[in-house]
Structure 1
């Protein structure tokens, strides 16, 4: 077995945390996978993996070796693709992660168009709000909303989403409609918190050309977008989110926009991918397609 194939086996074991699952994923007998790692560790004279009855994890040396292997394998595949028919007709598995509501509203309704155009690409799509590790989890690209903090990734802006603050008619009848940001002191909110940190996201309003953050008290806090909207409809308080997600409810009179004169800046929608994936034909065509999906959004 050549070194590159041994590296491929090693990286899948680290990613899947299992010899058995890696063997199944790559189509090898488990004995072949086990022997490949034994030979690799003997050649390098270091222990790469911790093995327990529950899972397999990388040692410190294994972590460092994994990062280098993943980069080398990606570079090898993408370099070959550039000089092959795959550049014109890309194929293979493309692992994507995207914000759930964003994907359901904009991407999934048009996904059949991408699949028809590139039938040889097999899509594996994760949809959630957690921040994924693209390199460690072997994900090719992610679609995210908001401020970008990871400068190690290539980022392509594809849209801006207008933000609105809403309440239900029942809530406004009981508590009145806030006309200024100062009046929010006597109002309540349905608060949204980060699944990663547990911290609440403050409301934002543009006052005199500057963004002002406001924290509101509330009875209910959630980390799910659908539940967030439902609690607002039930009269628990104000919410703030992209207009697209509540536009039909506003049009139907089930929710009302408030403080429209103080809307915050639009949220940026971006596609992120590792630097070493930017030459991949399948990543390139998917990113270009996503940009076309959002072109009407702005």
Structure 2
């Protein structure tokens, strides 16, 4: 394989990841005309159309998507081979692109990342904080951290644990309004819902009674589509929220929130790392994945 073909493959991968010729040109330090010319030559050499261009975006064709996966795998293997020729620390170098639920990223990953980055300064972590399902090819994702929605059989799943769904309120709120003794008491309290992206849909409040789940949709005074923001409102005494145990754990340890209705708590959806089944994982990706695994498992276990 020629050096210029490898360069064209890297350029093609970057265009697909960024969805733009212009952004790829800027990232690679090239002119837009040079990028267009190189991709045209690559398509001509392969005899296939790799990219579908529109006025707003660039996306791979069906053949382009297959070629993208091949390029990513070959380039990752090549990078790992080259890195392995140097010492072990040098092998841990390059970009790792991760998608994670916002609550997991903010509560667990972001606090741990600075120290880990100092230990691995040549690993460039790109952390996408999103609760949306990842398109591994289109977004160039190496692996994802997800809460629930783990049914895709085309992905390898590494289980990280199962948090508990906790109900919490501030000490000030409980002094002012009183402490609910059972789930039915919540109808007389100020509750803050989690706002779902679909208009009109509400997230259920879930409890367990005599081994059976109890689903409730009590009246609420507000709904917020961010887990951390809801906790901050609860800490400020606005009302009661249901959260995941690892998200609420710091505020509970600091006494800013109190756990209520504990004997009715239920397990929340499982947390796991996902990545494509046929994806080669270079050393930098495995090292990052292993670190995230330890952090998340420990946080879930300590918050139980």
TM-score by length of 2: 0.81
SS at match of 2:139: coil
Q: Give CA deviations for 1:126-178 in whole Å, capped at 9, x if unaligned.
A: 23434332221112122223342433222212233233101234544555432
Kindly state the Cα deviation for residue 32 of structure 1 after the two structures are TM-superposed: 1.9
Q: Distance in 1 between matches of 2:49 and 2:149?
A: 40
What is the alpha-carbon root mean square deviation over aligned residues? 3.0
Q: Distance in 2 between matches of 1:139 and 1:83?
A: 21
Structure 2: gaps (5+ residues): none
Q: Distance in 1 between matches of 2:289 and 2:254?
A: 34
1:82–1:279 contact (8 Å) kept in structure 2: no
SS at match of 2:266: coil
2:50–2:63 contact (8 Å) kept in structure 1: no
The answer to whether 1:289 aligns with 2:291 is yes
Equivalent residue number for residue 206 of structure 1: 208
1:81–1:281 contact (8 Å) kept in structure 2: no
Q: Residues 289 and 223 (structure 1 numbering): CA distance in 2 closer, same or farther, change over 3 Å?
A: same
Kindly state the Cα deviation for residue 231 of structure 1 after the two structures are TM-superposed: 2.2
Which 4+ residue blocks in structure 1 deviate beyond 6 angstroms? Answer: none
Kindly state the Cα deviation for residue 24 of structure 1 after the two structures are TM-superposed: 1.9
Q: Give CA deviations for 1:264-285 in whole Å, capped at 9, x if unaligned.
A: 1144332222223343221111
Q: Residues 85 and 21 (structure 1 numbering): CA distance in 2 closer, same or farther, change over 3 Å?
A: closer
Q: Distance in 2 between matches of 1:45 and 1:66?
A: 8
TM alignment of 1:4-19, pairs within 5 A: 4-19=6-21
Equivalent residue number for residue 52 of structure 2: 49
Q: Distance in 1 between matches of 2:134 and 2:257?
A: 33
Q: Distance in 2 between matches of 1:218 and 1:116?
A: 44
* Higher alpha-carbon deviation: 206-215 or 219-228: 206-215
Kindly state the Cα deviation for residue 97 of structure 1 after the two structures are TM-superposed: 2.4
SS at match of 1:151: coil
Equivalent residue number for residue 221 of structure 1: 223
1:218–1:237 contact (8 Å) kept in structure 2: no
2:189–2:239 contact (8 Å) kept in structure 1: yes
Q: Distance in 2 between matches of 1:183 and 1:275?
A: 47
The answer to whether 1:151 aligns with 2:149 is no
Q: Distance in 1 between matches of 2:192 and 2:163?
A: 21
Equivalent residue number for residue 269 of structure 1: 271
1:10–1:66 contact (8 Å) kept in structure 2: no
Q: Residues 241 and 36 (structure 1 numbering): CA distance in 2 closer, same or farther, change over 3 Å?
A: same
Q: Residues 46 and 278 (structure 1 numbering): CA distance in 2 closer, same or farther, change over 3 Å?
A: closer
Q: Residues 92 and 179 (structure 1 numbering): CA distance in 2 closer, same or farther, change over 3 Å?
A: same
Structure 1: gaps (5+ residues): none
Kindly state the Cα deviation for residue 113 of structure 1 after the two structures are TM-superposed: 4.3
Q: Say how many residue pairs are matched.
A: 293
Kindly state the Cα deviation for residue 74 of structure 1 after the two structures are TM-superposed: 1.9
TM alignment of 1:246-257, pairs within 5 A: 246-257=248-259
Equivalent residue number for residue 103 of structure 1: 105
2:49–2:64 contact (8 Å) kept in structure 1: no
Equivalent residue number for residue 34 of structure 2: 32
Q: Distance in 2 between matches of 1:39 and 1:181?
A: 66
Q: Distance in 2 between matches of 1:77 and 1:197?
A: 43
SS at match of 2:213: strand
